[in-house]
Structure 1
Amino acid sequence: MANILTILTILAVHLVQCKVEKVSDSSKEDPASAVYKPSWMYKCVPNEGCQRTGHPQPMSSGETNSTSQLYDSVKLCRTVCGRFGGLWPKPVSATLNSQTVKIHPQYLRYDLVDVPVETREILAQMTKVTSGNILAECGGNVTEVVTTPVVVYLTVKSKVIDLTWDTDEEYFLDVQTKDGTVVVKLNAETVYGARHALESFTQLISADKPDYSDSEICGLRLISGAKIRDRPVYRHRGFVLDTSRHFIPMKDIMRTIDGMAATKMNVFHWHATDSHSFPLESSRVPQLTRYGAYSPSEIYTVEEVRRLIKYAQIRGIRVVIEIDAPAHSGNGWQWGKDYGFGDLAVCVNSEPWRRLCIQPPCGQLNPANPVLYRVLRSLYKDIAEVLPKPSLFHMGGDEVFFGCWNSSQDIVSYMANKGFETNTEGFMRLWAEFQAKALQLWDEVLLDEGIEQNQPVMIWSSELTQAHRIKKYLNKDRYVVEVWEPVNSSLLNQLLQLGYRVVSVPKDIWYLDHGFWGNTKYSNWRRMYSYALPKDPNVLGGEIAMWTEYVDNGVLDTRVWPRTAAAAERLWSDPSSGAQAAEARLQRLRARLLSRGLRPDALAPAWCEQHDARCI
């Protein structure tokens, strides 16, 4: 009896398995089963943006329904929806068609006939980046082939390829489709205006692939008609990256440069060194990395720096290297005695750190040691040789702790011989003397390089730049002050009244590390978008800062993007409209950054991403 029950049980299990397999097989064979997959489409609603349909739609053939203005993907919908479509940052003016035309990169051609010979090489590199970004919309492989010709005519007037605060970045972009051919005309004074126009051109293109499809087929759609006129409000649109607290690999820096280019930022402020480490190779002073790098693999070689500078230039970005001094200078400078040069820096890695510096490890350069200036000159020469001309150098200059210098008998004796008292004003005189000598060294190096004298340099705001003191020590024609005080500080306006040029980076709004340590407040993208700079010709612009005490390359992208993009639009457009009006375009930018290999943080729940303006 037991055997019969066992046989019946086995037969029952087998019948159930056969039934399951039959159902499974039938689902594979029945194409109608696809209707049970989510098949949302999107409609561009005036004043609301892209909205998901109320019910799943019949599976489309991939063709956009131009009659009902339904789109198979939210990315394509956002590319065409609204006055500015998916453009970021917002241009001065734009007229965009809602109709699109299918294109393929294989049939895209760039015409460089109407550009100066001196600019053709860099423009050719810029067009290669453009084509790569277009391909990225389809993950690098556009499988739907169409033969629509697309010809991009570039017109550039100036043969100059220098990127400075005086560079004209204005551009005009015109897209027309006629007789089956797309004609794109880009006009700019300089190659950098042309580069921005090429970036805007890529933002008129979207992948043509339904959100609900798992097919490998992917095509591209270009807005069939567009007229854009654009120029930046601010000349300096910067991003600060600290690579001392944590070493950030070069590939991650380059990816950050890609994000900056996508948002038309133009200054990469590289806070390359600090008291924690010195990862920047100096061919003339190899001891700096030998004693200062975290490991042999965590060094930026001279050749890597050169490649980064070229990589950034092709993307319209100027690299500004900062060697922070005289404070924030510890590891990397502790080798002087080993070579018979005395102390090049004091308080290096000393305790108790709270009395000697702002954060561990401590370290400040020793202005009493004449050998220090020989070393600095050699380091400055290395930097001047790699920076693009005319070189813009950031000299650091913040958070000097007088307790550190006062703990050095060498420095105290030097001050006594100079007649400097060991009080606040005495140490200010010492600090100012160091700064004057350092600037003279930089000028000598530039003279050796054949560069025009009296080039401006950048410096952080500090006790030395306070309104009652700065005119005594720092020439307004030489120094651009980067003001990092909180937004309610009066220093920035005071410096403007004194005639100094400034770059604004309010730490309580545009510091990306805030909210992750101590008594600091996190700024979301809306808060960052809402900060408006003072209206003054001497406000060159602003920077967003990523200090890396609590950031490494594993989390870099999510801390930086898309919040930095919000401030980038403020610096380019200075919009009068608020964050709410910008959110749909920022969502489209985020999708664009993802396609280009970045890992930006999410802006909202996925449902909100599919329903513009519904979660505000």
Structure 2
Amino acid sequence: MASLWVVLAVVAVSLVQGGESNGVEDIVPHVYAPSWMYKCVPDEGCQRTEHPQPTTTNVTQMVFTSLDICRTVCGRFGGLWPRPVTAALSMQTVKIHPNYVRFDLEKVPVEARELVAEMTHVVGANLLAECGGEVTEMVETPVVVYINVKSSNLSLTWDTNEQYMLDVQTKEDQISVYAGADTVYGARHALETFTQLVAADRPDFSDEKKCGLHLVSGAKIRDRPVYKYRGLLLDSSRHFIPMEDVKRTIDGMAANKMNVFHWHVTDSHSFPLESSRVPQFTRYGAYSAKEIYSVEEVRELIKYAQVRGVRVVIEIDAPAHAGNGWQWGKEYGFGDLAVCVNEYPWRNLCIEPPCGQLNPANPAMYRVLKDLYRDIAETLPQPALLHMGGDEVFFGCWNSSEEITNYMQQQKYEISVDGFVALWSEFHEKALDAWDEQMQAIGGTKQPVMLWSSELTKANRIQNHLSKDRYVIEVWEPVGSPLLTQLLRMGYRVVSVPKDIWYLDHGFWGNTKYSNWRKMYAHRLPQDDNVLGGEVAMWSEYLDEQALDTRVWPRAAAVAERLWSDPSGGVYVAEPRMQRQRARLLARGLRPDAISPAWCSQHDTKCF
């Protein structure tokens, strides 16, 4: 290779001296195109070499032809994201080819083999993605991945054991990978970690599209999550998000070991979720005939997510945030199912236009809600988890309805804040009964449901209205609010999503402030057994599929590591691994935002 470099240099010089060149573009391009290499420097990470130089096949002295390979082996945790509990990684790599990777499922329970087999297909696709879909450098060394799963239970809940172990051993004639876990979801995480021990080598000195894969030659990893609930919320009501974009978001979640896709699928703006029992929801609530999630698509999405270790939690926001999709009641003889729908002026009726709140005085509304719940109960895997919304009820809206105020007087509720709170509480009691009834009808059992924090969940009233056994409160107060701590002291289980730090839409409207990935990474949750975990939220008032990836990634990845391992190290220690994770997401078809100038990404720690 060195002699080839010399020959190219001589050719270039002769062209210039002979006067035949019409400009720089006529000179052999390889001579002036850099061929950087990258050195792993202790405590400094991967550093680009000082001078462009020809690559060599002899990668020694911790110098690598690829920045991705360097980051995969450099440092205690290499390029693993989220950071595992313990990891011992070799700095040597071996070449592999996906065609010679085989998965041994002999120690996987028969009931779980089909699901695990689908998980291995994702592994194959992710390996190919490292080389843009084609690994041109053929290597015939066999790689056998032995998967050991103890349990045949395929349910995914917040009590699912997700810990795993992963060992990589290299011998002359075979590479053996041992992935062990109690559950299929722990095994899935092990397989994800296996793919993160692989990086592509793409020489930049050649016009040929050459690409080979390198696997860390030896590894011993033991890992488990700190928090049970590691979520990402996506709002597809303010703007409809096409299913392919939803699936790509779940791909990103899987790469970061996030396990809850909180789907805020309905709001007052639109109702794109098809109901087989109540087709009026989409007929009156969808933006168009093309902007509907069909029953079949939703079931396919749930399966798609399960293969990637992600639980789908559907949110039907109520009793507020319910307008379009509910406005057909009178036409069908059901009366007003919702009030204030699309009314203007709106400021005294809702938090943002268009307005709409369910009508708790109308018994027909509960019958319709029950049908919707039955559709969801039949769609979600058991035990199903439902998010009932429950925030931002505007008493002015209910107060504008004579039907509702008359009902309140019949129930001996005062027309006051306390009276409206009592009506609100009554709604949740009836809605929970409706959900329980539908769960029991399909053979399910009573499960906790989720609610947003609200006026109803304030410390001075929550115990009078909401059972700590039946409700998990998702607290979206700013980080300085005492509510999270107050609820924990009272024994409520919580999921934390501090809006001033973990809301991905902040900084793009009003007086909100943007949080970069470093700020999101630095936020830590309280240490309490009742903190199930946290969530990063992508609200879509000012976002559609065009900007989805750059708004979500890689910032959501920062929250993912906080929830998986809750490391004590700072953001700068994590940044080289974050750079590797961003490159990985790019390879897998996502479009994560940049986190530094390109020069800084080639010189770890030099821009801190």
Aligned equivalents of 1:553, 1:217: Cα separation in 2:
33
Aligned equivalents of 2:25, 2:45: Cα separation in 1:
37
Report SS of the residue matched to 1:273.
Answer: coil
Match of 1:103 in 2: 96
Question: Which one of the candidate residues 368, 377, 385 is aligned to 1:384?
Answer: 377
Paired letter, 2:245 = D
Describe how 1:443-522 pairs up with structure 2 within 5 A: 443-453=436-446, 455-522=447-514
**Alpha-carbon deviation of 1:590?**
0.4
Aligned equivalents of 1:185, 1:120: Cα separation in 2:
16
Report SS of the residue matched to 1:312.
Answer: helix
The answer (yes or no) to whether the contact 1:73–1:211 under 8 Å persists in 2 is: no
Report SS of the residue matched to 1:142.
Answer: coil
**Alignment deviations for residues 193-230 of structure 1 (CA, whole Å, 9 cap, x no partner):** 00000000000000111245442111100000000000
**Alpha-carbon deviation of 1:22?**
4.1
Describe how 1:111-130 pairs up with structure 2 within 5 A: 111-130=104-123
TM-score (norm 1): 0.95
Aligned equivalents of 1:511, 1:463: Cα separation in 2:
20
Aligned length: 593
Match of 1:78 in 2: 71
Question: Which one of the candidate residues 171, 182, 189 is aligned to 2:175?
Answer: 182
Question: Which one of the candidate residues 149, 155, 162 is aligned to 1:162?
Answer: 155
Once the two structures are overlaid, the 10-residue window that deviates more, 324-333 or 213-222, is 213-222
Q: Root-mean-square deviation (CA), in Å?
A: 1.5
Question: Which one of the candidate residues 529, 551, 554 is aligned to 1:562?
Answer: 554
Aligned equivalents of 2:37, 2:284: Cα separation in 1:
59
Match of 2:192 in 1: 199
Match of 1:280 in 2: 273
Match of 1:4 in 2: none
Aligned equivalents of 1:547, 1:60: Cα separation in 2:
46
Match of 2:21 in 1: 23
Distance 1:87 1:22, change over 3 A: same
Matched, 1:49 2:45: yes
Aligned equivalents of 1:85, 1:68: Cα separation in 2:
17
**Alpha-carbon deviation of 1:360?**
0.3
Matched, 1:432 2:430: no
Matched, 1:340 2:333: yes
Aligned-pair identity (%): 69
Report SS of the residue matched to 1:112.
Answer: strand
Match of 2:396 in 1: 403
Question: Which one of the candidate residues 52, 57, 60 is aligned to 2:55?
Answer: 60
Distance 1:371 1:54, change over 3 A: same
Aligned equivalents of 2:24, 2:573: Cα separation in 1:
48
Aligned equivalents of 2:30, 2:373: Cα separation in 1:
65
**Alignment deviations for residues 297-320 of structure 1 (CA, whole Å, 9 cap, x no partner):** 000000000000000000000000
The answer (yes or no) to whether the contact 1:323–1:396 under 8 Å persists in 2 is: yes
Question: Which one of the candidate residues 246, 259, 264 is aligned to 2:252?
Answer: 259
**Alignment deviations for residues 171-196 of structure 1 (CA, whole Å, 9 cap, x no partner):** 00000101231000001000000000
Distance 1:212 1:345, change over 3 A: farther
The answer (yes or no) to whether the contact 1:415–1:422 under 8 Å persists in 2 is: yes
Paired letter, 2:48 = R
Report SS of the residue matched to 2:177.
Answer: strand
Match of 1:172 in 2: 165
Aligned equivalents of 2:481, 2:343: Cα separation in 1:
32
Paired letter, 1:575 = P
Distance 1:266 1:21, change over 3 A: farther
Aligned equivalents of 1:363, 1:375: Cα separation in 2:
16
The answer (yes or no) to whether the contact 1:40–1:212 under 8 Å persists in 2 is: no
Aligned equivalents of 2:529, 2:80: Cα separation in 1:
27
The answer (yes or no) to whether the contact 2:238–2:540 under 8 Å persists in 1 is: yes
Matched, 1:34 2:30: yes
Report SS of the residue matched to 1:350.
Answer: coil
Paired letter, 1:36 = Y
Paired letter, 1:490 = P
Of structures 1 and 2, the larger Rg is shown by: 1
- Unmatched 5+ stretches in structure 1: 1-18
TM-score (norm 2): 0.96
Aligned equivalents of 1:56, 1:264: Cα separation in 2:
37
Aligned equivalents of 1:121, 1:191: Cα separation in 2:
11
Aligned equivalents of 2:38, 2:31: Cα separation in 1:
17
The answer (yes or no) to whether the contact 1:505–1:542 under 8 Å persists in 2 is: yes
Paired letter, 2:296 = E
Distance 1:526 1:27, change over 3 A: closer
Matched, 1:534 2:532: no
Distance 1:207 1:397, change over 3 A: same
The answer (yes or no) to whether the contact 2:348–2:397 under 8 Å persists in 1 is: yes
Aligned equivalents of 1:492, 1:612: Cα separation in 2:
37
Match of 2:133 in 1: 140
**Alpha-carbon deviation of 1:71?**
1.1
Distance 1:151 1:464, change over 3 A: same
Report SS of the residue matched to 1:264.
Answer: coil
Aligned equivalents of 2:276, 2:312: Cα separation in 1:
19
Aligned equivalents of 1:311, 1:527: Cα separation in 2:
31
**Alignment deviations for residues 459-516 of structure 1 (CA, whole Å, 9 cap, x no partner):** 0000111111011110000000000000000000000000000000000000000000
Paired letter, 1:550 = Y
Describe how 1:569-580 pairs up with structure 2 within 5 A: 569-580=561-572
